[in-house]
Structures are given as structure tokens and as C-alpha cells.
């Protein structure tokens, strides 16, 4: 992160990023927490410097990175990196032992990617920098390791907004001009195992799942269509009563999640045969996650894994689900022919074709 120190305008977050790197050899959890802090400082600085961003109703990190304007500003592929930083930082705060060194290094790499993008857009002098794991993993002499996490001065959001307000038009123009050349987020081509340990484990921890309690890796599966007849589901999530709630099929970050669909169906078939209950399916490559209830609804993109409580509630809804075929329409409420046709069309879409939503346009 030395490239940040050369730009005085990056002072609000540069030292925080350097601090995150320094504490890696003390504690991965401290490093992950510091990465989240540096991200928050950088995001607040970005809101203060770019006129396309308006401070939302709350200044929490999750709110700032979720606005439509922020999502439009960052390049494709960056949102997953930012969400990883937020989640790994939260996990490190609540359960420090859950964060390992590989996850902390990935946090540093994702932070470097976001800050390199900021440098590309707003630095006075920009030269592309790559993340060098050789620097991170070098042998550190005991005397070089700080005894505690360095103190990083808190960023005052309102002060940043006030100080940088006059610069906003010029900095926005600079970003638009710089991005005409294009900016591509470099993908991290990790193996399937690395993907799991990094992104997916963090997502599960963030949703409240506990490994060995209600989350199991490499769950053994019989009757697979291969030479041995055996396989292993990447993840299976269970309810408190021991029934399966979800099966997760993980692919490498560079592979489209759809490639794991057929495997996931075979795992779900096995679990349904074994337990008498069919789990829902999550397909993920770490960056993108899809939910698929293949018996009821089409596959759809989701922001992350459901918690145990949400999955149990989902299955409760399915249990109480009633058919809409032959529904009786109250003529005292909707007696006109076009009203009846509209109601019947919605019932058919949801009940027969497994749609999740319908749009009715009504005159006022």
C-alpha cells in the first residue's frame, strides 16, 4: 500500500491500509478488522470527493456500499470484493478464531484492488500496481513486528464532506476522463478448495452457520453416476432436528455457477431419498450466488446464503402452501370480467407456472 502514501489526498485511509498489512503477522483477525476499517474510511472519502454520490440516510458501511449510485460507480466484479471485506471484518470482530491467515491475506488483496481503483480514478499520478504476495509472506524478523495494532485516527465523515465539497466537480470529471481508457478488475483464479475457504466459509459464518454443528463440508453421497458410485457434496446445511435444509455446490471463482447445477440436483436427490426431505440448492462461485428450489420456483440470484432461521421459515411457508386452482372470486369485490381474468391470470402464474411475482396495472 506504499503507493497510497505518495498522494496526500489519500491520507484519510492510506495509513489504515498500511496498518492492516502490518498486523497480519500478529493476528489474522486483527488484519481482517483493520481491512474493514480501511475500507470504511476509503468509502467515506469517496462519498466526500465524488459529486455522483450523495450521503444516504445512514453512514454505516453496509448502507454506503449498497446505494444504487455507489454500485453504479464501481466496476463490475468489485462489489463481491467489497462485501467480502465487510463480512470478514464483522466475523473477525465477533469470532476472532474463525479467521485464518489465508482469509486475511485475501482481505488485503481485495482491499488493494479497491484502493487501486480509487488511485486510477483520482490520483494525481497513477501507475498500475499489482498485489505482491511475496511482500506479504516474507519472513518477518521479530523486531519488525509491532506488539499491538497501530492506532489509526478515526475519520470524521462530516468533516470530510465539508472539506472536499469544493473539489467534487473536478474529481468527478477526472474519474470520468480516466475511465474512458477502461478499468478491469483482475480476477483471482483460485482453486475450488481456496474458493470455499475464502469466500464461501466467510459467507456462511456471516449468516450464523457453525461448522460441525449445522454445517458440514464434503458430505458423503452415494449412488453417484461415476465409476466409484460415490461423491461428496461441498456443503450441506442442517436444521436442529437433523433434517437437511440446503446443499451448496461450489465452483472456482472463474467458473460460471451454472456449471454446478446438475451435480447439485444429484446431491439433493440423495438427501431427499435418505431423509425424506428435499433441501433447496445454492450455487456459488464465491462472487455470485444463486438459490434454486427446483420443485417450486425458478433459479434466482441472491445476495448470500440464508440463515438457519430463514431457511426454516421458508420450509414452513412451503408446508402451508395451498393451491390456487379453482379459487373463488368474490363478485362483491371484483365482479367485472377483466378483473376476474386478471385475478385468474395471477393465480395461474403463481400456482401453476411457479412464478414468484406478478404485476397488475390498475386505473386510479
The pLDDT value recorded for residue 140 is 53
CA dihedral 163, 165, 171, 172 (to 10 degrees): 150
The pLDDT value recorded for residue 199 is 85
- Residue 21: is its pLDDT beyond 50? yes
Report the alpha-carbon distance of residue 171 to residue 123 in Å, rounded: 9
Contact 234, 196 (CB under 8 A): yes
The pLDDT value recorded for residue 143 is 45
- Residue 93: is its pLDDT beyond 80? yes
Report the alpha-carbon distance of residue 107 to residue 112 in Å, rounded: 8
Q: Which of 183, 38, 190 is nearest to 103 (CA)?
A: 190
Task: Share the mean pLDDT of the chain.
Answer: 88
Structural domains in the chain, CATH included, are: 2-181 (no CATH), 192-319 (3.90.1570.30), 322-364 (no CATH)
Residue 160 phi/psi, 5-degree rounding, is: -60, -45
The pLDDT value recorded for residue 254 is 67
| 225 vs 290 pLDDT, higher one | 290
Name, in order, each residue with C-beta under 8 angstroms of 130's C-beta and a sequence gap of 6 or more: 186
Report the alpha-carbon distance of residue 77 to residue 71 in Å, rounded: 10
Cell of 160: 470530510
How does DSSP classify residue 286?
S
| 121 vs 192 pLDDT, higher one | 121
> Which of helix, strand or coil describes residue 220?
strand
Span of 43-57, 133-147, 210-224 with lowest mean pLDDT? 133-147
Report the alpha-carbon distance of residue 364 to residue 361 in Å, rounded: 10
Rounded percentage of the chain residues whose pLDDT exceeds 90: 58
Report the alpha-carbon distance of residue 102 to residue 107 in Å, rounded: 9
Length of the chain: 364
Contact 178, 120 (CB under 8 A): yes
The pLDDT value recorded for residue 236 is 96
pTM: 0.78
Residue range 337-348, pLDDT digits in tens: 999 999 999 999
Beta bridge partners of 164: none
Name, in order, each residue with C-beta under 8 angstroms of 262's C-beta and a sequence gap of 6 or more: none
Amino acid at each position: 500500500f506504499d503507493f497510497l502514501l505518495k498522494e496526500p489526498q489519500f491520507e484519510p485511509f492510506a495509513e489504515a491500509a498500511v496498518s492492516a498489512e502490518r498486523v497480519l503477522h500478529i493476528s489474522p483477525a486483527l488484519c481482517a478488522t483493520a481491512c474493514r476499517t480501511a475500507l470504511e474510511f476509503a468509502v467515506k472519502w469517496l462519498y466526500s470527493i465524488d459529486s455522483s454520490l450523495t450521503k444516504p440516510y445512514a453512514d454505516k458501511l453496509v448502507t454506503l456500499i449498497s446505494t444504487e449510485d455507489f454500485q453504479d460507480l464501481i466496476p463490475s466484479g468489485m462489489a463481491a470484493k467489497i462485501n467480502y471485506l465487510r463480512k470478514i471484518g464483522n466475523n473477525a470482530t465477533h469470532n476472532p478464531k474463525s479467521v485464518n491467515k489465508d482469509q486475511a491475506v485475501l482481505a488485503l488483496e481485495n482491499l488493494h484492488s479497491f484502493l487501486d481503483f480509487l488511485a486510477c480514478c483520482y490520483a494525481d499520478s497513477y501507475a498500475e500496481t499489482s498485489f505482491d504476495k511475496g511482500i506479504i509472506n516474507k519472513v518477518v524478523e521479530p523486531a519488525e513486528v509491532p506488539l499491538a495494532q497501530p492506532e489509526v485516527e478515526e475519520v470524521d465523515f462530516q468533516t470530510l464532506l465539508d472539506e472536499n465539497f469544493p473539489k467534487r466537480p473536478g474529481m468527478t470529471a477526472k474519474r470520468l476522463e480516466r475511465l474512458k481508457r477502461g478499468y478491469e478488475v483482475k480476477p483471482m483464479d483460485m482453486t475450488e478448495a481456496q474458493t470455499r475457504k475464502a469466500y464461501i466459509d466467510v459467507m456462511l459464518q456471516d449468516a450464523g452457520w457453525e461448522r460441525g454443528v449445522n454445517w458440514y463440508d464434503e458430505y458423503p453421497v452415494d449412488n453417484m453416476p461415476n465409476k466409484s458410485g460415490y461423491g461428496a457434496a461441498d456443503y450441506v446445511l442442517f436444521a436442529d432436528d437433523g433434517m437437511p435444509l440446503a446443499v451448496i455446490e461450489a465452483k472456482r471463482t472463474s467458473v460460471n455457477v451454472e456449471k454446478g447445477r446438475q451435480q447439485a440436483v444429484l446431491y439433493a436427490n440423495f438427501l431427499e431419498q435418505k431423509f425424506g426431505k428435499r433441501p433447496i440448492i445454492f450455487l456459488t462461485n464465491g462472487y455470485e450466488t444463486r438459490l434454486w428450489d427446483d420443485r417450486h420456483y425458478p433459479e434466482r440470484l441472491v445476495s448470500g446464503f440464508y440463515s438457519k432461521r430463514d431457511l426454516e421459515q421458508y420450509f414452513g411457508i412451503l408446508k402451508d402452501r395451498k393451491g390456487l386452482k379453482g379459487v373463488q372470486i368474490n363478485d362483491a369485490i371484483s365482479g367485472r370480467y377483466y378483473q376476474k381474468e386478471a385475478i385468474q391470470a395471477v393465480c395461474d402464474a403463481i400456482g401453476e407456472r411457479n412464478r414468484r411475482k406478478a404485476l397488475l396495472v390498475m386505473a386510479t
